[in-house]
Structure 1
């Protein structure tokens, strides 16, 4: 009976050793830096670094664009105020009564009867 118990104990130890060996090989392949999850983690880490750099660049560009847009808006508001003042000043001018509105406002050139068009 002891002999059978010893055989079963050795078989169990060999089975556990084989299981540990297979598990060890799977774990090494799993954490391999070229093919396994280790490679995926390394790639993701480098992508995170690249994305952080791209985000910083985008933030700087957005900040610069925002500043430029604020300057342009201020200039446009100033121009609009000046235009409003000019239009208001035009309303204060007396109407031009010297020439009828149907005549051209620019220089008029006399046409000769012999001119050919």
Structure 2
């Protein structure tokens, strides 16, 4: 009976040893830097670095665009002030014609799409 127990004990130990060997091989392949999860982590790390670089470039471009737009807005406001002054000075000229809000009545033939639209 002891012999059978010893044989079963040796078989169990060999089975456990084989299981540990297979598990060790699987873990080695799992963490391999060329094919396993290690490769995926390395690729993701490189992508994160690329995205950080792209984000920094986008922030620099946005800052440059904001500065440019602020400059252009200031120039446009200055031009608008000058135009307002010029229009105001035109009103002060003697004999300046004013634009009437309604057009003068038509004296020639008038096209109308519907019969009730004729003037």
TM-score, length-scaled by structure 1: 0.77
Gaps (5+ residues) in structure 1? 98-117
Gaps (5+ residues) in structure 2? 98-119
Q: Which residue of 1 aligns with 2:52?
A: 52
Higher mean C-alpha displacement, 30-39 vs 1-10 = 1-10
Distance 2:15 2:21 in 1: 10
- Once the 2 structures are TM-superposed, how far is the Cα of residue 6 of structure 1 from its aligned partner? 1.2
Q: Which residue of 2 aligns with 1:22?
A: 22
Deviation per residue, 1:23-57 (Å, 9 max, x gap):
11111111111111111111111111111111111
Deviation beyond 6 Å, 4+ runs, structure 1: none
Count of aligned pairs between the two proteins: 97
Q: Which residue of 1 aligns with 2:4?
A: 4
TM-score, length-scaled by structure 2: 0.76
Which SS does the other structure have where 2:95 is aligned?
Answer: coil
Q: 1:47 to 1:82 in 2, by over 3 A?
A: same
Contact residue 90 and residue 96 of structure 2 kept, 8 A: no
Distance 1:54 1:10 in 2: 61
- Following superposition of structure 1 onto structure 2, how do residues 1-117 of structure 1 map, counting pairs within 5 Å? 1-95=1-95
Q: Which residue of 2 aligns with 1:112?
A: none
